[in-house]
Amino acid sequence: MASVSQTQAANTPNPARWLVVVVPYLWLLLFFAAPFLIIFKISLSDTAIAMPPYTPVFPGFGAIRDYISELDFENYLFLTEDPLYIKAYLSSLRIAVISTFLLLLIGYPMALAMARAPSSLRPTLVMLVILPFWTSFLIRVYAWIGILKPDGLLTLLLQTTGLLDPNEQIQIFRTDIAVFIGIVYSYLPFMVLPLYSALEKMDNTLLEAGSDLGCPPWKAFWKITFPLSLPGVIAGSMICFIPITGEFVIPDLLGGADTLMIGKTLWTEFFGNRDWPLASAVAVVLLIMLVVPIAIFQNQQKKVV
Amino acid sequence: MKSSRFDATVLTLCFAFLYIPIIILIVYSFNASKLVTVWGGFSLQWYRTMWSNEGLMDAAWVTARVGVLSATLGTALGTLAALSLVRFQKFPGRMLFSGMIYAPLVMPEVITGLSMLLLFVALNIDRGFWTVIIAHTTFTMCYVAIVVQSRLMTFDRSLEEAALDLGCPPVKTFFKITLPLILPAVIAGWMLAFTLSLDDLVIASFNTGPGATTLPIKIYSQVRLGVTPEINAICTILIGFVTIGVIATSIGTKRAELNRIRDEHVALRGTT
């Protein structure tokens, strides 16, 4: 009898048990969800030279109507009027799409090679992919500055091997090419790991069956391997594409003055121009752009779970 | 197989791409010359200048404290969140909850950083040490939740049920049975949370205040002025620190896993 009542106790909602849910739930509501409402609100305010640099601050009950009448979409209008912002959004999307494609192009063969490696080697290979991810993002981007600088190691290497005239220097640093190198380098583990976990689970007998029936290897790849790895392709692409769109550190350190990315624009509006409402509007528009990819990512994660 | 040579080439090239920049960075931290392209002999002088750079050392100390506190808080909250996701299949707002766990993983940092800052301003909280900790806790707890969740899904619930059946109160069951079994994942989650906090530049920049300059903020402001071997030195120390930590945890979790399997075997033999 005791065991029955105990099991029931575990299944019936016990107020104390709900603390397990309530504590992290409230934390995320307060520190993750609520800020999005605030950012939206601030994006409708005007800039003021004060601390905090926007008006109106928080309203009293009586002032609510005045307060609402002061909110408007001025900042959003400004975003459409100045071509700089539209260019920055489009350029971010372009850079994110191209980098995600490059990541797939490099990450897929790598993940496939890992999945086909002897099973005794695989944990070490996975460890080797994860390890650079643990070292600081900033440090890894910084490492490329020394390599790509005009008087850096790449120039030196090309000069000593005779591929480049000793008087010439390689002009990659502070261009979009450097940004692509930095992004591919930093995000490669994020692309490889989901691809690897999809490919590793694959049933090899399917490929054997294909080859027994006379299917050439490249055709077997497109007919069997690739379609089966599609969840990994989508997960990896989303995990890379979404943060790359809002990337700040890489375009700032490796890109040039003409490398437009919205993360950099937002940073400048906030820290440089101290225009918090405009920075908020930039963030809200970016968020709206990313809603669909984020929804795809969430959906994918739920299927994996 | 024909493809094995191709695979080996691919792996060699990709790992070279991943590791050569880091290796170059480490090697040049021991360079006697200040120039990146000139090797002036082995020297530890940059480690000495780094050590006597008070601003850098202060930032390192702030970062260490922020890392430990936010990783610990984030691990506690993340473990609870993982339990909620796995053990509570139905509760109001579960969709929103799981959405709030997954979204921070991919959310561009500039958005998370800015929105959290605006919350602190709206609540009239002065920015500084504690706001950075809250910000870091919020995004690291989601990573911890994912790591612990994957362990909980392969968890044998009959062990817990046995304890409950024998009259062990739920809270005690958690600490005596559940927690020891998921401990490797919880430790891995803590490590991940700690390194993420150690790493973060963007979110910390938005939410920091006077006297709470973290190491990435300091490194970033120096990097903008140019590459100096002193930065290479501090980066090398950070890399060494994290590498040792990661290898130690992975050996530790592997050993714990082996012990667990052995104990289970012993237990099974005991029952039959």
What is the sign of the dihedral through the CA atoms of B9, B10, B15 and B16?
Answer: positive
CATH of domain B61-271: 1.10.3720.10
Arithmetic mean of pLDDT over chain A: 84
Which chain A residues contact residue B250 at CB under 8 A?
127
pTM, 2 dp? 0.86
CATH number of the domain at A122, please. Answer: 1.10.3720.10
Cβ contact A135–B15 (<8 Å):
no
- For A304, name the nearest residue in chain B, comparing CA atoms only: B150
Give the burial string for A173-193 (b: 16+ CB within 10 Å, else e): bbbbebbbbbbbbbbbbbbbb
Which chain A residues contact residue B202 at CB under 8 A?
248-249
Residue A29 falls inside a structural domain = no
Pick the closest to residue B116 from A32, A272, A242 (CA basis): A32
Q: Which residue has the tokens 């939410």?
A: B207
| R_g (Cα) of chain B, nearest Å | 23
DSSP H/E element including A47: strand A46-47
Which chain A residues contact residue B223 at CB under 8 A?
138, 142, 145, 253
Which chain B residues contact residue A42 at CB under 8 A?
118
Query: B19 at the A interface (CB within 8 A)?
Result: yes
Q: What's the confidence (pLDDT) of residue A1?
A: 37
Cβ contact B110–A267 (<8 Å):
yes
Considering its fold, how many domains does chain A have in total?
1
- Nearest CA-CA distance, residue B11 and chain A, Å: 6
A and B: number of Cβ contacts within 8 A: 249
Interface test with A, best of B1, B6, B17, B18 (most A CBs within 10 A): B18
Q: Give me the DSSP letters along chain B.
A: -THHHHHHHHHHHHHHHHHHHHHHHHHHTTBSSSSSS----B--HHHHHHHH-HHHHHHHHHHHHHHHHHHHHHHHHHHHHHHHHHH----TTHHHHHHHHHHHHHS-HHHHHHHHHHHHHHTTPPPSHHHHHHHHHHHHHHHHHHHHHHHHHT--HHHHHHHHHTT--HHHHIIIIIHHHHHHHHHHHHHHHHHHHHH--HHHHHH--TT---HHHHHHHHHTT---HHHHHHHHHHHHHHHHHHHHHHHHHHHHHHHHHHHHHHHHHHH-
Pick the closest to residue A164 from A181, A151, A145 (CA basis): A151
Of A58, A142, A248, the CB nearest to B231: A142
Contact B108/A247 with Cβ under 8 angstroms?
yes
Query: B64 at the A interface (CB within 8 A)?
Result: no
The C-alpha atoms of residue B76 and residue B193 are separated, in whole angstroms, by 11
3 state SS of A301: helix
Distance spanning both ends of chain A, measured CA to CA: 36
Contact A239/A191 with Cβ under 8 angstroms?
yes
Query: B93 at the A interface (CB within 8 A)?
Result: yes
Of A17, A117, A267, the CB nearest to B7: A117
The C-alpha atoms of residue A290 and residue A46 are separated, in whole angstroms, by 25
Contact A232/A112 with Cβ under 8 angstroms?
no
Which chain B residues contact residue A279 at CB under 8 A?
114
Q: Give me the DSSP letters along A261-273.
A: -HHHHHHIIIIIS
Q: Which of the listed ranges A59-73, A95-109, A282-296, B49-63 does the model predict with the highest average pLDDT?
A: A95-109
Task: Please count the other Cβ atoms lying within 10 Å of the Cβ belonging to residue B174.
Answer: 16
Q: What's the confidence (pLDDT) of residue A5?
A: 41
Q: What's the confidence (pLDDT) of residue B116?
A: 93
DSSP secondary structure letter of residue A256: -
DSSP H/E element including A287: helix A276-304
Cβ contact B7–A113 (<8 Å):
yes
Helix axes A83-116, B3-28, angle to 10 degrees: 120
Cβ contact B164–A7 (<8 Å):
yes
> Where does the pLDDT of residue A24 fall: very low under 50, low under 70, confident under 90, or very high at 90 and above?
very high
3 state SS of A46: strand
Cβ contact B238–A239 (<8 Å):
no
- Nearest CA-CA distance, residue B271 and chain A, Å: 21
The C-alpha atoms of residue A156 and residue A147 are separated, in whole angstroms, by 9
Quick: pLDDT tens for A149-158. Answer: 888 888 888 8
| Beta-carbon contacts of residue B67 (< 8 Å; ≥ 6 apart) | B136, B194, B197, B198
Q: Distances from the Cα of A5 to the Cαs of A18, A90, B165, in angstroms?
A: 19, 61, 9
Q: What's the confidence (pLDDT) of residue A139?
A: 84
Kind of pairing between the strands at A54-55 and A46-47: antiparallel
Calculate mean pLDDT across residues A128-136: 81
Q: Distances from the Cα of A114 to the Cαs of A105, A221, A225, in angstroms?
A: 15, 16, 14
pLDDT at A93 over 80: yes
- For B125, name the nearest residue in chain A, comparing CA atoms only: A52
Calculate mean pLDDT across residues A173-198: 93
- For B76, name the nearest residue in chain A, comparing CA atoms only: A24
The structural domains of chain B, with segments of one domain joined by +, span 61-271
Contact B198/A245 with Cβ under 8 angstroms?
no
Query: B4 at the A interface (CB within 8 A)?
Result: yes
Residue A4 falls inside a structural domain = no
Residue A54 β-bridge partners: A47
Query: B248 at the A interface (CB within 8 A)?
Result: no
Pick the closest to residue B185 from B113, B83, B47 (CA basis): B83
Query: B39 at the A interface (CB within 8 A)?
Result: no
Of B83, B111, B135, the CB nearest to A287: B111
Cβ contact A114–B11 (<8 Å):
yes
Residue A11 falls inside a structural domain = no
Contact A153/A170 with Cβ under 8 angstroms?
no
Q: Distances from the Cα of B238 to the Cαs of A13, A140, A158, B230, B268, in angstroms?
A: 46, 12, 31, 13, 45
Q: Which domain holds residue A256?
A: 82-304
The C-alpha atoms of residue B229 and residue B222 are separated, in whole angstroms, by 11
The C-alpha atoms of residue A19 and residue A211 are separated, in whole angstroms, by 56
Q: Distances from the Cα of A269 to the Cαs of A173, A256, A262, in angstroms?
A: 24, 18, 10
Give the burial string for B56-68 (b: 16+ CB within 10 Å, else e): beebbebbbebbe
Quick: pLDDT tens for A63-84. Answer: 566 666 667 788 888 888 888 8
Q: Could you give the count of Cα atoms lying within 13 Å of B34 in the half-sphere of its Cβ?
A: 3
Q: What's the confidence (pLDDT) of residue B150?
A: 86
Of B91, B103, B118, the CB nearest to A21: B91
> Where does the pLDDT of residue A208 fall: very low under 50, low under 70, confident under 90, or very high at 90 and above?
confident
> Where does the pLDDT of residue A56 fall: very low under 50, low under 70, confident under 90, or very high at 90 and above?
low
Cβ contact B149–A266 (<8 Å):
no
Of A116, A146, A243, the CB nearest to B36: A146
Quick: pLDDT tens for A218-259. Answer: 888 888 889 989 989 999 999 999 999 999 999 999 998 888
Of B11, B84, B250, the CB nearest to A113: B11
Give the 3-state DSSP-derived string for A200-245, with helices as H, strands as E and coil as C. HCCCHHHHHHHHHCCCCHHHHHHHHHHHHCHHHHHHHHHHHHHHHH
Residue A75 falls inside a structural domain = no
- Nearest CA-CA distance, residue B261 and chain A, Å: 19
- Weakly modelled stretches of chain B, pLDDT under 70: 1-2, 36, 271-272
Cβ contact B84–A31 (<8 Å):
no
DSSP H/E element including A54: strand A54-55
Query: B158 at the A interface (CB within 8 A)?
Result: no
> Where does the pLDDT of residue A9 fall: very low under 50, low under 70, confident under 90, or very high at 90 and above?
very low
Of A18, A31, A114, the CB nearest to B134: A31
The C-alpha atoms of residue A181 and residue A250 are separated, in whole angstroms, by 9
Q: What's the confidence (pLDDT) of residue B132?
A: 96
In this structure, what token pair is assigned to residue A224? 């069997």
The C-alpha atoms of residue A266 and residue B114 are separated, in whole angstroms, by 9
Which chain B residues contact residue A34 at CB under 8 A?
119
Of B21, B102, B246, the CB nearest to A298: B102
The C-alpha atoms of residue A110 and residue A154 are separated, in whole angstroms, by 24
Q: What's the confidence (pLDDT) of residue A3?
A: 42
